[in-house]
């Protein structure tokens, strides 16, 4: 139950749309405000702002940007709500970096979940830099988990760059939220939602976390192992922040020298974490060894099978499935089933019993 939360819906009609009325009546205090361009909106503290993108049609994207950037004070968590077609102009003008987009029709429960989640965030939401939409399309039922996942990744990358401290409680809390969300709403909509994400690094990390947790749920891992899987997957590639962007974003094949640098990211990631208190050895192993193969042909240590534990094996499979189904400039994305077929040919390198148990999930992603 939500209490003490205020919501302001900005739209051009006086009446609150039916779906908002259903979601909010009796639960949160809600004000509907008509907005005019270049009009300052003072909404007060503790308020979540919703812009009804379907009802703000008379505003140009520039006016919406002005409203969001300059007129709404203080800056508050922001949700755009609208039909899929209302998202297109917002995305085209890079406005989704200011908030979260929820697609109509939505269930009242999931709107309340995300309002509750955003209102509980200790800090105001900082917009992503222009051209870097870090918070974009969120599929309804996973909205709180995905939004939390994005925040945690932003924190982890800033930690890996040496710009902030590691917040492990937040990481664990987000892992739990994600485990619950995947257990309840399934892998399919998670993968679908993540695929819409604009930022490739976020897309990859959120995909690997979702796949790894979804796989571990399928294999009926116990709760303590699910938590390690989520934590390890969130952290698995943070060492990449030490690599130059022109290697990370290179559209074509890497040269030998570039490959050698790329192969250092598991080492950099593990080094960054090793000195932190309370990081489990299983998590460190996932970070260092997720590119190892059972026949010793992987990197960075060329480990053989018996030295690669189950959590690492599972994360390796999640990482490879993610890479195969992702959209990259130089390759078409495979379907989930095709990705599992590719991996099934990698005898000797991957854990075949685990792969076989997971293969039915290929149809769902």
We find the least distance from the C-beta atom of residue 176 to Fe ion, in angstroms, to be 22
**Quick one: 113 or 319, whose CB is closer to Fe ion?**
319
Q: What is the torsion angle, in degrees rounded to the nearest 10, for the CA atoms of residue 220, residue 203, residue 9 and residue 46? A: 70
We find the least distance from the C-beta atom of residue 322 to Fe ion, in angstroms, to be 7
**Quick one: 155 or 319, whose CB is closer to Fe ion?**
319
Distances from the Cα of 155 to the Cαs of 2, 10, 159, 287, in angstroms? 27, 30, 6, 17
- 212-271 positions binding Fe ion, by CB under 5 A: 237
Count of residues engaged in binding Fe ion, rule: CB under 5 A: 2
**Quick one: 148 or 235, whose CB is closer to Fe ion?**
235
**Quick one: 19 or 271, whose CB is closer to Fe ion?**
271
We find the least distance from the C-beta atom of residue 303 to Fe ion, in angstroms, to be 15
Q: Which of 150, 155, 199, 319 binds Fe ion (CB under 5 A)?
A: 319
**Quick one: 113 or 237, whose CB is closer to Fe ion?**
237
Across the chain, the runs of DSSP E, i.e. the strands, are 6-11, 29-34, 41-42, 47-52, 72-73, 78-82, 100-103, 137-138
Q: Which residues contact 266 (CB under 8 A, 6 or more apart)?
A: 236, 239, 287, 288, 289, 290, 291, 299, 300
**Quick one: 141 or 237, whose CB is closer to Fe ion?**
237
Q: Are 195 and 136 in contact (CB under 8 A)?
A: no
We find the least distance from the C-beta atom of residue 244 to Fe ion, in angstroms, to be 16
- Interface with Fe ion by CB under 5 A: which range of 4-12, 55-63, 175-183, 318-326? 318-326
We find the least distance from the C-beta atom of residue 100 to Fe ion, in angstroms, to be 25
Q: Are 292 and 312 in contact (CB under 8 A)?
A: yes
Identify the H or E element spanning 361.
none
Cis, peptide link before residue 124, omega less than 30° from 0: no
We find the least distance from the C-beta atom of residue 278 to Fe ion, in angstroms, to be 23
Binding positions for Fe ion, rule: CB under 5 A? 237, 319
């Amino acid at each position: 139950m939500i209490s003490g939360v205020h919501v302001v819906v900005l739209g051009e009609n006086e009446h609150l749309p039916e779906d908002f009325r259903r979601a909010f009546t009796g639960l949160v205090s809600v004000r509907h405000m008509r907005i005019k361009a270049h009009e300052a909106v003072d909404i007060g503290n503790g308020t979540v702002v919703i812009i009804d993108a379907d009802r703000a049609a008379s505003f140009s994207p520039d006016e919406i940007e002005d409203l969001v950037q300059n007129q709404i004070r203080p800056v508050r968590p922001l949700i755009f709500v609208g039909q899929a077609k209302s998202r297109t102009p917002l995305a085209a003008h890079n406005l989704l970096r200011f908030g979260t987009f929820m697609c109509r029709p939505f269930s009242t429960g999931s709107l309340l979940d995300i309002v509750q989640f955003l209102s509980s965030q200790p800090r105001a939401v900082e917009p992503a830099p222009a051209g870097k939409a870090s918070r974009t399309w969120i599929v309804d039922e996973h909205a709180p988990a995905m939004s939390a996942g994005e925040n945690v990744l932003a924190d982890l990358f800033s930690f890996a760059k040496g710009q902030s401290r590691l917040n492990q409680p937040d990481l664990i809390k987000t892992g739990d939220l994600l485990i619950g969300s995947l257990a309840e709403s399934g892998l399919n909509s998670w993968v679908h939602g993540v695929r819409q994400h604009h930022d490739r690094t976020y897309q990859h990390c959120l995909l690997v976390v979702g796949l790894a947790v979804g796989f571990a749920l399928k294999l009926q891992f116990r709760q303590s192992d699910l938590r390690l899987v989520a934590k390890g997957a969130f952290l698995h590639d943070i060492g990449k922040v030490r690599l130059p962007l022109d290697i990370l974003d290179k559209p074509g094949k890497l040269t030998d020298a570039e490959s050698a640098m790329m192969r250092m990211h598991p080492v950099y990631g593990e080094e960054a974490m090793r000195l932190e208190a309370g990081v489990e050895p299983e998590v460190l192993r996932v970070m260092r060894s997720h590119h190892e193969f059972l026949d010793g042909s992987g990197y960075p240590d060329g480990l053989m099978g018996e030295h690669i534990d189950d959590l690492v094996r599972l994360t390796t499979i999640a990482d490879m499935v993610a890479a195969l189904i992702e959209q990259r400039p130089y390759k078409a994305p495979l379907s989930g089933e095709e990705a599992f077929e590719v991996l099934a040919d990698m005898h000797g390198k991957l854990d075949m019993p685990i792969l076989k148990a997971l293969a039915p999930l290929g149809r769902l992603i």
